[in-house]
Chain A
Amino acid sequence: MTATIETKTLSMEFDLPHAPAKVWRALTERELLAKWLMSNDMNATVGTSFTFSMKPVAGWDGIVRGEVLAVEPPTRISYTWQSAGVNTIVTWTLSAGADGGTKLALEQTGLPSSVREYEGARYGWQSMAGKRLPDTLAELA
């Protein structure tokens, strides 16, 4: 039996009370990224590779690798995001928000949705995973 891997897209939107140019810097400059996301060697340049890293936790090496796919300052940056054997694409889109702020849209494509086949079994799984495992997974990236 061969399982077909179906994927889903995660879309989120955030209203930030800061100008797009400032948000753009926080999304693309190494030192700023390190403060809110993870240690990294990001070069916001198309075709370059980068690594995000944080403290490893049980079951995860703490590493995210990626390649920059698109950079359009200050409106869009897109890169591959590969971690824990799951390969996704993360795209940030910035547009003018209310009162000079920024509407920040995040889209992550390629998330495996195979878990949906197991709704029935998940109950038992979650009771086991009730405490420590969610903490561990929350650290996963």
Chain B
Amino acid sequence: MSRDDVLFRALADPSRRAILERLTRGESAVKDLTARFAISQPAVSQHLAALKGAGLVSERRDGRLRYYRIKPGGLKPLIDWMAHYERFWHDRIDKLQAVLKEMES
């Protein structure tokens, strides 16, 4: 399987997508994720392992607790860069227009 296949398999599961979406709000401990989703801790851990294997999240240990966070760049193959930058530049050019208006000619 290519890395992208692994990524897609990881994202194919709704629970994993929900966990990932939750992590976009910030780092979470496994126990907090378990409390939030109606699935067992072993199941959550298994989902996190799949997300980690796909390069989507990274793990940090602090004593007996494990924390997970979104890994920068993990979604790179999935981002539609054309659409992303098109939006980005449109927003910025709007701001540029405002700056030009404020400037003295």
Contacts and interface: CB of A to CB of B under 8 A. Distances in A.
Interface of A: 1, 3, 8, 10, 12, 14, 16, 18-19, 22-23, 25-26, 32, 35-37, 58-61, 84-86, 88, 104, 106, 108, 111-115, 117-118, 121-122, 124-125, 128-129, 131-133, 136-138, 140-141
Interface of B: 2-4, 8, 11-12, 14, 17-18, 20-21, 23-26, 70-82, 84-93, 95-100, 103, 105
A52 to B, nearest CB: 11
Contacts of A129: 21
B4 to A, nearest CB: 7
Given A3-B2, A12-B86, A22 B105 contact: yes
A19 B75 CA distance: 40
- Looking at chain B's contact residues, the main secondary structure is helix
B93 A14 contact: yes
Contacts of A113: 81-82
A10 B100 contact: no
Given A3-B4, A84-B73, A125-B11, A137 B84 contact: yes
Contact of A86 (B18, B24, B81): B81
